[in-house]
Structure 1
Amino acid sequence: MIQIMVDDPSREDVQELLGEHLDDMYAASPAGSVHALDHVGLAGPGITFWTARRAGMLLGCGALKELTPAAAELKSMRTTASSRRQGVATRLLAVLIEEASQRGYRRLYLETGAQRFFAPARRLYSKYGFTPCGPFNGYRPDPHSVFMTLGLPAIPGSEHS
């Protein structure tokens, strides 16, 4: 059974996974086009970090960064190499979207790469209803980046509804 929970990005196994994530980002994109955060950045204010684990073993991670009281950004979605194509990213994304809705965010954003390497991620986001949009929250137009957004329904009783 996969357990998805708020976690500490400074845990050793998480730091390893985030290191692999950053290595891949720099291998696939020019340095100025890499917007992934390391474990220190993911522990910053306004960011909530989650992991997916099975029997304590790390399978993947993701985070929500509040942009405004009505909008958040999806950050650092990553699965371990051994857990890819097993539904981990799908489960994690569903939890993050649900949490964003429960918090009362009306819009969720993300930035991912435009290169072929990032095609599986773009397909997953599209499957969940994310659509292309322009740069947001200080990002600049970049041929190596794809910006996407998802409108979220208002949930009565949520923090920002």
Structure 2
Amino acid sequence: MTISIAIETPLQDDVRALVARLNDHLLPLSPLEFQFKMTVEQMADSETTLFVARDADGKAVGMGALKMHGPDLGEVKRMYTVPEVRGQRVGRQLLERIVDLARSRGLPVVMLETGTGDGMAEAHRLYSRYGFIPRGPFLDYPDSEWSAFFELRLDAEKAA
């Protein structure tokens, strides 16, 4: 499958539909108070860069974002691929673009929060295989059984 990935605005109908599908996927997996969703309007702010994956027909099949939290921390947000393309490395390609952007901005670390349980096993595998390691909560995320936290140190690459 041919996939193209580009930085796009989240304020598009097909991206809104992707966000809705992601939210529908997450809804049964944890209590609402432990779902830290960004709306498309929040994703459109100047601190967030959204990558959209499209198939050969131009259909949006995945997304992922880098949210900047100052000069020292980037956060992976809103990672999602439609079920029809899972297993075809679309998520990995999105993650590569996000991490490459973080690297180009000189960030020392990229972190993320994701859910726990069976519904998130594929996401955990993706992050672990990419080199993210488990860590404790960061920013204002609460420590709970519903969240898993990961980080990828980019400054360690410079030191190596």
TM-score, structure 1 as length reference: 0.91
User: For 1:125 and 1:61, how far apart are their aligned partners in 2?
Assistant: 15
User: For 2:78 and 2:72, how far apart are their aligned partners in 1?
Assistant: 20
Alpha-carbon RMSD across the aligned residues, in angstroms, is 1.5
Cα distance, 1:153 vs structure 2: 3.6
Contact 1:74 1:108 in 2 (8 A): yes
Contact 1:101 1:155 in 2 (8 A): no
Alignment of 1:67-82 (within 5 A): 67-82=69-84
Aligned to 2:123: 121
User: For 2:84 and 2:140, how far apart are their aligned partners in 1?
Assistant: 34
User: For 2:113 and 2:146, how far apart are their aligned partners in 1?
Assistant: 10
User: For 1:64 and 1:49, how far apart are their aligned partners in 2?
Assistant: 7
5+ residue gaps, structure 2, are: none
Deviating beyond 6 angstroms after TM superposition, the runs of 4 or more aligned structure 1 residues are: none
Equivalences, count: 156
Residues 133/154 of structure 1: CA separation in 2 closer, same or farther (3 Å cut)? closer
User: For 1:146 and 1:48, how far apart are their aligned partners in 2?
Assistant: 23
For 2:126, the aligned partner's letter is L
Q: For each residue in 1:7-59, what CA deviation from the matched residue of structure 2 results, as whole angstroms up to 9, or x when unmatched?
A: 01111111011001112212111001101212112112311111011231112
Cα distance, 1:112 vs structure 2: 0.5
Aligned to 1:159: none
Cα distance, 1:154 vs structure 2: 7.5
Contact 1:102 1:155 in 2 (8 A): no
Aligned to 2:89: 87
User: For 1:134 and 1:154, how far apart are their aligned partners in 2?
Assistant: 19
User: For 1:146 and 1:154, how far apart are their aligned partners in 2?
Assistant: 22
- Say whether residues 1:61 and 2:63 are aligned partners: yes
Q: For each residue in 1:131-156, what CA deviation from the matched residue of structure 2 results, as whole angstroms up to 9, or x when unmatched?
A: 11111111111110001111014889
Alignment of 1:141-156 (within 5 A): 141-153=143-155
- Say whether residues 1:140 and 2:142 are aligned partners: yes
Contact 2:18 2:61 in 1 (8 A): no
Q: Percent identity, please.
A: 36
